Copies of this chain bind each other. A is one copy, B any other.
């Protein structure tokens, strides 16, 4: 999408991969220092060695320090499990809940719309999915009454064990308020649910007034009994300002986990040996970026802020454009990387979709693709209230390209409306 990698990340990775570069004066001293620290944590001083399954100790410590500074609350490095991207971490924790209770399968509450990793993994693990609808009219907030409806219905057929919250939201782009998080935690406590806090977009906050609160911070600050709840929080190198998806770095911070279960968790991941060491190294840098006064600090901040500032502009551009188009409404993109606009489709278009054997939003997406080359993901891929039609689009293309895309889209939409009205 044209986003450039952060120089410092790539420099450190090149140094740990090919240590003769440590003698090259072209690399800044702080990049070399990071590389030496990472290599000192590797067996035999090489990224080619297996590490402990939960990751290199010094990197786990840097993650804990990052969390501690973020939340203002102590974090124990032994609760940090490094992974090959957040998906890996999420699935490894999810698996621990595969256990029938009184003949009932273990259910997991997930938002609708949701990120398809959850539905796919739950299907694979034969765990019932308990969908709760996000409230589009409160900018995709979570209503406790809806959570209650969903779990009460589900209890008839399964044993609910966990709730997944994606904050900032994918595909919905909301950033949850502290009050909303507190209400969710109280609900989870009452219903004895393990909390999965998918917080991979924690660096992507754009809207004025929006602020990221980690579930851990809120839960600990609520005090007992909430502060004793089991929670896993997930983070990744694939999003944020770095966007290093191909390197596969991420982590889970797991708190208050029953020690016997935690022992089994660590044993289970050991079958896969260890997450990629270069992915771990990337995570290390994201958790422990250059500090003020170090040679790479200025450039790092500049590159980081440019990405985030540009995403902020694009978040607004996308929502504003769709809101200006007939029949579209789009919530504020408060965070993450996506907009999930709703569209009203004319009855004739719905009929044409039916004839074509496609869901109406899928029909629209294909028409758009074929006429303009623009690819959106129909809302039915993520789930949506019956009878409503949405799609996910990203704010990732660079501003010029994005503007061109949105202009084309608006033009197509006019033609589509006139064709089917």
Contacts and interface: CB of A to CB of B under 8 A. Distances in A.
Q: Chain copies in the assembly?
A: 2
Contact of A276 (B117, B247, B270): B247
Most buried by B among A47, A88, A116: A47
Contacts of A244: 48
Contact of A17 (B14, B48, B275): B14
Interface string A49-62: 11100000000000
A110 to B, nearest CB: 14
Interface in A251-301: 268, 270-279
Contacts of A17: 10, 13-14, 17, 278
A246 B271 contact: no
Interface in A234-250: 238, 242-248
Contact of A278 (B51, B91, B278): B278
A267 to B, nearest CB: 8
A274 B238 CA distance: 12
Interface residues of A, number: 50
Nearest to A117: B271
Most buried by B among A50, A51, A124, A277: A277
A58 to B, nearest CB: 15
A246 B26 CA distance: 27
A101 interface: no
Given A17-B14, A268-B124, A42 B246 contact: yes
B272 A246 contact: no
Contacts of A51: 246
Nearest to A51: B246
A46 interface: yes
A120 interface: yes
Contacts of A270: 120
A172 interface: no
B5 A121 contact: no
A21 interface: yes
Interface of A: 1-2, 5, 10-11, 13-14, 17-18, 21, 24, 26, 42, 44, 46-51, 84-85, 87-88, 91, 95, 116-117, 120-121, 124, 238, 242-248, 268, 270-279
Ordered nearest first, which 7 A-B pairs have the shortest CB separation?
A: A246-B277, A14-B18, A120-B271, A276-B276, A248-B276, A48-B244, A14-B14
Given A46-B246, A47-B246, A248-B277, 4 more contacts: A1-B44, A2-B44, A247-B276, A278-B279
17 contacts: A5-B46, A11-B18, A13-B18, A17-B17, A42-B246, A46-B246, A49-B246, A50-B238, A50-B246, A84-B84, A84-B248, A85-B272, A116-B271, A117-B271, A120-B268, A124-B268, A246-B274
